[in-house]
Each structure stands twice: as C-alpha cells, then as structure tokens.
C-alpha cells in the first residue's frame, strides 16, 4: 500500500497557520510593560456617618454622598499572559459626617472628619478575560484577526498608606486630631497611641478596553481593608473629660465630645466609658477609577520602544 504525502499546495498554508498561531500566542511578551493614570472617586466606611440600613453590617455604612475625588498612577508588568503585577501610587481625601447618618444616635454624636490618604501598594492580577494581543489590522479576505478588545481581571494586594484625620471645630476650622488624643491615648486606662501609617489590603475587579495595541481605557473598583480603626479618629469610648483636659488641653475635650441633643442644643462633656465608636471593625476606604493606559513595545533584542 502506497503512503500518500500531503499535497505541496496544502503544506505552505498549514505552515502559515501554525506560524501565525505561535506568533499570536507570544506577541503579549512584547507588551509586558504598561503605565497608567487614573481619575475617579474615593469613599469611606467607618464609625462616622453611615448606618443607612440599620442591619449592623459594615456595608450598611456606605454613603455615596461622602465620595470625594481621587487620583492615581500605576505601573504594570505582565508575568504571564493572564497574570500581572501592578504597583500603585494613589491620593484622595476621605470624609465622614454624623450629620449624614441614617439614625438619630449618630446624628446626635455630631462628629465629623476628613483625612488625606496617600497610598503605595502592589497587587497581583489574574485575567479571567484575557487581553488580546492579536493584530490591530484585519487582512482582507481572512477571518479572525483583531480579537476581543475587552479584558477583565480580579486583583488582591498589600501596601501602606498615610493618613491625618482632622475634625471641624466650633468656628468651622479643621483641626488635626491625632495629637489631641481624643480618646485618652497614652493616659491610664486609655488606648495606645495610633500610628498615622497603616497597612492597606486592596481587593477588587477591573476591565480594560483596547483602543489599539498600546493604548487602553479601563475601569477599576477596589476596596481597601486596613489595619487601623483610627482613620476617622474614632474607635472606642469617651475618656474622662477632666483628665483629658489636664493632659491635653481644652481643644482635646472640645473635639472629643461634640454631642448635641435632639433639638440641636450642645450637651455637657460626657463622663468616662460612654460609647464613642465601635472597635469591632477596622476602617475601610475604596476607589473607583477610570484609567488611561499605555503599553511600551519591546524590541526583539530586549530594548523597549516608546
């Protein structure tokens, strides 16, 4: 029985298909490096404001009204076709106000705060919708090419952030709170002083739309779980106002206790031990960003082209 060889006119097209497939599979390696800038909003969930659902959950504290602008810049390196590492630098100002709260007890507590947040973090990304690295141009008469322009990923990471909570005094001025030790930090029976640098643990999801091989638009939403309950300077209980005044002055007492009655009248300073905040949860902040990304193309000899 004579063995038939593959006709020559079929060998060349088959070779082109296999070569093209291999090239497409490796093309992502030429676009490992990407930088992006981000613009969006930041929100906070903690001890101030919130309480909109009454179910006692942390996510019942979410309020869109306290969203503030946020900015960021990132560098991404693709380890594998579906796996990347990204370094972030983010800035925002978070805000919370008992006047925005959904129940009367928090409104009567009458505390508010704002704080800058400067975050540096690194996150790992897994692409459940793979980024396309196929040709941006379609060859007439050939099917395929181009590929899907939408990519999606989930991420998790770790980092550090700096914060400096401020409260609004009776004159409408914003006062730094950390040095006032409003809950009796450093005094007998009071909590330990808190650091203004804390750990952040970002988790979230993102999507990217490829304009072409190098430019993309995207959206990313991430929750930042933290290691501190003092982002808003509120965590435990009221401290004895007499001892607080003796140690840290009148302003510490003023900023520690701004309670008002249901008819809006100021109340005298509360004695020691009354509930001021809840320490069962650490504070949380989050970002929602629109991003503009640019990938650098690497040459065959390892050079990066701009």
Write the pLDDT tens digit of every residue in 220-241.
999 999 999 999 999 999 999 9
Separation of alpha carbons 53 and 182, rounded Å: 28
Residue 272, in any domain of the structure = yes
Residue 223 lies in a domain: yes
| pLDDT confidence band for 7 (50 / 70 / 90) | low
State pLDDT tens for residues 39-79.
Answer: 999 999 999 988 665 555 556 677 888 999 999 999 999 99
Any alpha helices (H) in 62-201, and if so which ranges? 104-109
Query: What span, in angstroms and rounded, lies between the C-alpha atoms of 167 and 187?
Result: 21
Tokens of 161: 């952030």
Residues ≥6 apart with Cβ < 8 Å to 55: none
Per the structure, the count of domains in the chain is 1
In a domain, 278, yes or no: yes
Considering the domain boundaries, does residue 13 fall inside one? Answer: no
* Domain presence at residue 70: yes
| Rounded-to-integer distance, Cα 11 and Cα 17, Å | 10
Helix (H) or strand (E) holding 165: none
Tell me what pLDDT residue 45 has: 92
Residue 11 sits at the vertex; the CA angle it makes with 9 and 16, to the nearest 5 degrees, is 110
Report yes or no on 233 lying in a domain. Answer: yes
Predicted pLDDT at 278: 87
Is 197 a member of any domain? Answer: yes
178: left (phi over 0), alpha (psi -120 to 50) or beta: alpha
207 is in which domain, residue-wise? 31-305
Q: How confident is the model at residue 22 (pLDDT cuts 50, 70, 90)?
A: very low
pTM: 0.83
Q: Is residue 67 part of a domain?
A: yes
């Amino acid at each position: 029985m004579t063995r038939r060889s593959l006709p020559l006119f079929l060998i060349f097209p088959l070779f082109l298909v296999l070569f093209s497939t291999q090239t497409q599979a490796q093309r992502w390696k030429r676009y490992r490096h990407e930088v992006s800038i981000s613009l969006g909003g930041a929100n906070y969930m903690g001890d101030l404001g919130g309480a909109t659902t009454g179910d006692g959950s942390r996510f019942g504290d979410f309020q869109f009204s306290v969203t503030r602008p946020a900015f960021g810049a990132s560098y991404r390196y693709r380890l594998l076709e579906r796996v990347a590492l990204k370094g972030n630098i983010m800035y925002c100002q978070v805000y919370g106000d008992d006047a925005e709260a959904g129940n009367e007890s928090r409104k009567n507590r009458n505390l508010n705060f704002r704080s800058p947040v400067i975050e540096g973090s690194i996150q790992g990304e897994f692409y459940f919708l793979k980024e396309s690295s196929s040709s941006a141009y379609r060859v007439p008469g050939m099917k395929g090419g181009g590929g899907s322009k939408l990519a999606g990923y989930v991420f998790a990471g770790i980092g550090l952030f700096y914060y400096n909570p401020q409260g609004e005094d009776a004159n409408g001025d914003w006062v730094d709170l950390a040095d006032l030790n409003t809950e009796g930090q450093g005094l007998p029976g009071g909590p330990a002083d808190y650091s203004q640098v804390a750990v952040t643990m970002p988790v979230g999801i993102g999507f990217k739309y490829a304009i072409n091989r190098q430019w993309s638009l995207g959206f990313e939403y991430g929750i930042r779980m933290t290691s501190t309950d003092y982002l808003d300077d509120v965590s435990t209980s009221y401290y004895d106002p007499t001892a607080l005044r003796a140690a840290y002055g009148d302003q510490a007492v003023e900023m520690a206790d701004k309670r008002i009655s249901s008819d809006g009248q100021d109340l005298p300073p509360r004695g020691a031990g009354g509930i001021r905040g809840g320490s069962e949860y650490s504070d949380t902040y989050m970002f929602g960003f629109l991003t503009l990304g640019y990938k650098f193309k690497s040459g065959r000899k390892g050079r990066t082209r701009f």
